[in-house]
Amino acid sequence: MSLRVIFMGTPDFAVPTLTEIIGQGHEVVSCYTRAPAQAGRGLDLKPSPVHRAAERFGIPVFTPKTLKTDEAAEVIASHQADVAVVVAYGMILPQAILDLPELGCLNLHASLLPRWRGAAPIQRAIMAGDAESGICVMKMEAGLDTGPVGMVEKLAIGPDMTAGELHDRLASLGADLMVRALAALGRGGLQFTPQPVEGVTYAAKIGNAEARLDWARPAQQVHDLVRGLSPFPGAFAEVDLGKGPERLKILRTALAGGVAEPGTLLDGEGTIACAEGAVRLLQVQRAGRAPMRGSEFLRGARLDPGHRI
């Protein structure tokens, strides 16, 4: 059964779901996304990835600053949609909006709810060292990611998987899950289960201070922080290359052996001592430069074993 769908989303993560919904023959009657933001040296307005995708498909795009007005509700009601699909939209939907579609509002959330409700579930799962993540289709309610869950797909997190890699896997998995959920919804077969009250955790936005590496932590925690923040915003350390401290993004590491004062460079391959064990710098990035191998950076920087980072 083809449904009339309002799609609400903003980043790259949401684009595969929008594309798959259209590909399965549903009618996307409107697309809601965040307003274009200033970007680049010229501070030109840059539409969101979802905005650009919707325009390619000829779908009307709406970028309201808020949905908490009678006017916003009237416009959404005029679309006469059966269901709203929300994927990383970035705006709160008030109850008046949630009540408008006849079949409700479905949200695609990148975690195994109730673990990692909130803004940064992909990064937080890896930063915490979780061995498993997944994607949920949830019926939205007024609380933050508190609604009952209709469908779930689990995905193992490899020991070296980065947030970027998990993001891409879940985006693809989520697109397939959402169209299956819409098919079940259209035939009246999508059943929802309330989330358990135990195991609730919150995935707060990543603060800049969290991205600074602390070599006085165990190597496993340092490794998890690096991969949880790669490629964006990127964990970082400060290194003095002769012109004062310079921020160095650490994009990939590997667990390694070695004992020394935390932060000590142990060899020419970029092994750095931590409180327990060590990590090897596999990929780093200086400000304004392209990413490079850790060993390549060390050769160019002429940092010798024993240097403190």
Q: According to the model, what pLDDT value does residue 102 have? A: 96
3-state secondary structure of 153: strand
Residue 308 per-residue DSSP state: B
pLDDT band at 41 (very low <50, low <70, confident <90, very high): low
Q: What is the mean pLDDT of residues 295-299?
A: 91
In the chain, helix, strand, coil percent, each to 5? 30, 30, 45
Q: According to the model, what pLDDT value does residue 37 have? A: 81
Q: What is the pTM of this model?
A: 0.95
Q: Which domains does the chain have, with CATH numbers?
A: 4-202 (3.40.50.170), 208-301 (3.10.25.10)
Q: According to the model, what pLDDT value does residue 245 have? A: 86
How would you classify the pairing of strands 44-46 and 37-39?
A: antiparallel
Burial 249-287 (b: 16+ CB within 10 A, else e): bbbbbbebebebebbbbbeebbbbbbbebbbbbbbbbbe
pLDDT at 43 over 80: no
| Bond preceding residue 148 cis, omega within 30 of 0 | no
pLDDT digits (tens, 9 = 90+) for 140-179: 999 999 999 999 999 999 999 999 999 999 999 999 999 9
Q: According to the model, what pLDDT value does residue 243 have? A: 79
| Bond preceding residue 233 cis, omega within 30 of 0 | yes
The C-alpha angle with vertex 161 and arms to 279 and 261, in degrees rounded to 5, equals: 15
What are the residues whose beta carbons fall under 8 Å from the beta carbon of 189, sequence distance 6 or more? Answer: none
The CA–CA distances, whole Å, from 261 to 226, 276, 278, 309 equal 20, 10, 10, 11
